[in-house]
Structure 1
């Protein structure tokens, strides 16, 4: 808790000093070819905040970056290729702001930012970012229209195309697998997971876009476990999640608490009540103080299911912890 509070306060102090640099532009000022790359590197550095902070802490920062770049595009002058590069950065920033909005529970804002990201990516002819924007939109649609979510996730893979970097293709096929899993389509889920693994196997060490660089074999294993949990196949889900989460750093508190929720879910499905209670207790500890609505949303139905076993000491303990 104290460590996350330190990161939050120190990050906010540092960013407050950096943000004005992007907003102090006079209308018509000429932008050089090096500016988009500088902005992209800045965006990559700021993305690291998402490793330790929730969207409730980062949304304002990421949205400010997006708006500053948008103002630059509207008011500065630049060569045509520089303009396309700026639009690509804008798309990337909109996705990051949209993700933070989603994590903070601001779903309308997230959808709007993903749509703006897609438009900017199309205008910049960045097919990888255009595909990723669609994948984010597919994720948003899952709660309301699973058919539309799958169609959008399929379109995301097609938009990025076979020439997209391996990490990008793996990420988009992972998200397609998740859409299929939520819809209950086991065979399609497995095919999408295999496609993601195939893409990762094609990686030759060439640098990937920073926004997809976090996708690796551990991430694929986590998504595999999540999918099999969603499909109510605990014998497949539990071993995968147990293995990968044993190596997962607690510093990534939000993400680890979320992934533990799927492990607890699978243990419940398998009838291993005490183990589910122990995992849920750990997830509650990790998520305390994280400015994200998602761990609570994920753990709430698990806790409701555990209440049916309130007579067990392990369950009574976690129910008491959840009520604090």
Structure 2
């Protein structure tokens, strides 16, 4: 997927550099280049090429600026914020990137774009362990997702829906040390999720399993193991370093309970994937 997207990115970049076109066509080409660059950046992150991802995001942001497409630029900044918080250990920079995106698109945001930006804001605050700011951002994201107008949104916001926002909220709450609230959110998200969203399901199922291993009223190792086995099935169908990382987190959450036979079965099956 990444290899094909890189080829298409290079083809559009060469077309912009070498071909003759009017202003309208040039803007359209820059939009395409920005969209491809964002996708290449996301794919590179998902397969563990973080430096490459950053280069694609920067190129995509420049293309969006050349096209004067502020919503697309904000979306790319949100992708950069996700990388900064999740992969690079820079959640404070992620907060700044989202605030820049919100300011740069003020007055031109659809509910879907705002929901996505506020959710990335919440994610960054969760990494900073700022409970108040995180829960406020989650509330803003959930308010916006209730007002979605899909006909007004560009195709790249296709994935923004109640299941995505609720699931990501659950992940944030788990990071904040609120497993019971996280379990409620993640369970709701999985129930709403379209079955074609395999990558998202693996993300939410794995975090729900982790939440069920934590001390709390709803702690349930046996349900966690069942979800963990599903996570293995799902990640084996994906080419995702990120997904393997989530599985690795669950592996370490369950490892202290290896005295339980079913936990040992999970650990034995997951070990080869986690070590790969």
Q: Same fold (TM over 0.5)?
A: yes
Q: Which residue of 2 aligns with 1:79?
A: 22
Which of structures 1 and 2 has the bigger CA Rg? 1
CA distance in 2 between counterparts of 1:258 and 1:312 reads 25
User: Partners of 1:205 and 1:96 in 2: how far apart?
Assistant: 20
Q: 1:1-324 residue pairs with structure 2 within 5 A?
A: 58-142=1-85, 143-204=88-149, 206-270=151-215, 271-324=219-272
Runs of at least 5 residues in structure 1 that lack an aligned partner in the other structure: 1-57
Alpha carbons 1:258, 1:295 under 8 Å: kept: yes
**Shift of residue 266 of structure 1?**
0.9
| Dislocated runs of 4+, deviation >6 Å | none
Q: Are the counterparts in 2 of residues 168 and 212 from structure 1 also a CA contact under 8 Å?
A: yes
Kept in 1: contact 2:126–2:172 (CA 8 A)? yes
Change beyond 3 A, Cα 1:309–1:95: same
CA pair 147-213 structure 1, distance change in 2 beyond 3 A = same
Give the SS at the match of 1:221: helix
Do the aligned residues in 1 keep the contact of 2:81 with 2:94 (CA within 8 Å)?
yes
Equivalent residues, number: 267
Q: TM-score, normalised by structure 2?
A: 0.91
Q: For CA contacts below 8 A with separation 6 or more, give which structure has more relative contact order.
A: 1
The Cα shift of 1:81 comes to 2.4
Local SS of the residue matching 1:246: helix
The 2-side partners of 1:305 and 1:169 are apart by: 33
Residues 199 and 301 (structure 1 numbering): CA distance in 2 closer, same or farther, change over 3 Å? closer
| C-alpha distance in 2 between matches for 1:164 and 1:63 | 29
Q: 1:185 to 1:132 in 2, by over 3 A?
A: same
| Cα deviation code 1:206-238 (max 9, x no counterpart) | 331000122011111111111111111111111
Gaps of 5+ in 2: none
Contact 1:232–1:266, Cα closer than 8 Å, also in 2? no
